Amino acid sequence: MADDAPWTGPRAILHGDLDAFYASVEQRDRPELRGRPVIVGGLAHERGVVSAASYEARAFGVRSAMPLRMAARLCPDGVFVRGDPDRYLEASDTVMELFARFTPLVQPISLDEAFLDVTGSAHLFGGPVAIARRLKAEVRTTLGLVLSVGIASNKLCAKIASDLRKPDGLVVVAPGTESAFLAPLPLQRLWGVGPRTREVLEGWGLRTIGDLAAFATPALEARFGEHGAAIHERALGVDDDLVVPHEAAKSIGHEHTFDVDTLDQAQLEHMLLRLSEGVGKRMRGASVRGRTIAIKLRVAPFETRTRQRTLAEPTDEDLTIFRVARSLLRDALGDDRARGLVSPVRLIGVHASGLVAGAQLGLFDAARAARLNAALDAVRSRFGDDALDRASARDSDRRRRLSDRRVQ
């Protein structure tokens, strides 16, 4: 479709997706990594999963969410890096600002992708295809990164289109061709068709989205209920979902996976404080407070346990978050011991939900805590998270070292 060809669809939706985002930022900032298989998420021997893999690493079968140790076996010459969330967030913010120059209707899906509804602004920039080309060029010039874009009259087809010709893709689904565009694609490309649904559909002889579109709707509804009707409609290329800008986060959290599973309560509480500080900082940065504090524990071999508590008043204060989280941790560990369970912990997390907008107001102590937190945030933003320690963190470190000496 020519850049200046008139767009005849009821809506013009773009889906922009930064290719191999985290790995691409690493390769951009470290020239010696360019052309090499880069795996972001941790070191090869560490417990954890792959956050991103460069296209050179993907050629060896490395994929996101794969255990790091499996990635090391598949790609022994891979370059493993822990990554830098601050740099990724900075790049993401710049990209979202570029998107917003073309339309106020930008819906971020993650740090590296977003939907744009350019229906009302396309005529100002020469049409949706011209906008896509300008976005790709500006992302490359401004950030040194590569953007793939899908264009369609709905979000479903725009998202699928952006995935088809990576890296550096630009795929246009002309209005009226949605069903034909989807028809030859495999079932797993369609939203709502997960492994279990696909297994059933393939058992019926369906292999492509076109096969699903031609299948009898009553049979789908009888097997899957309302979900069956929904995936049939999507298979026909129908999607009325709107682009909703600036969708508020439902929760804010931080998690940490230990290199070695631990039962050391001092070590767990030390990490809990660090995580609580991270959650508090992010809430203050977003001008929100949380009403419910939760902890998450993953214990050997792969069991996940959670505890949560709802507060009388929402908070964004580090120590309040930590004290609640520490109480939840001690309750959880006490319950386990009472039941004779001593499973070591491999992951610990802190989450705040029930978010409400607005800065915390109140008495002198609240104002003093707010000033302290603001000062800590400023120093850590400039010099790193380890630049300042609270006394409670140092006490936790001291108790952990004493415990280590007793073990030796």
- Just list the catalytic residues: 113
Element of type H or E holding 110: strand 106-110
Task: Return the bridge partners of 308, or none.
Answer: 294
CA atoms within 13 A on the CB side of 246: 6
Nearest-angstrom CA–CA distance, 179 and 27: 38
Edge to edge, the sheet with strand 147-152 lists 106-110, 113-117, 13-18, 147-152, 170-172
Could you give the CA distance from residue 140 to residue 116 in angstroms, rounded to a whole number? 18
Q: Exposed/middle/buried for 262, CB within 10 Å: 0-12, 13-18, 19+? A: middle
Enclosing H/E stretch for 350: strand 345-357
- Which contiguous run of DSSP H or E holds residue 333? helix 318-338
Q: At what angle do helices 391-407 and 265-285 cross, to 10 degrees?
A: 160
Scanning the structure block, which residue is given the tokens 């106020």? 104
Q: Which of 46, 16, 17, 40 is nearest to 27 (CA)?
A: 40
**N residues, the chain:** 408
In b/e form, how buried is each residue of 104-139, taking b as 16+ CB within 10 angstroms?
A: ebbbbeebbbbbbbbbebbeebebbbbbbbbbbebb
Residue 152, phi then psi, degrees to nearest 5: -160, 180
Q: Give the count of beta carbons closer than 10 Å to the beta carbon of residue 184.
A: 9
Spell out the residues 6+ positions from residue 5 whose beta carbon is closer than 8 angstroms to its own: 127, 129
405 phi and psi, to 5 degrees? Answer: -65, -35
| DSSP conformational letter for 49 | B
Sign, Cα dihedral of 121, 122, 124, 130 = positive
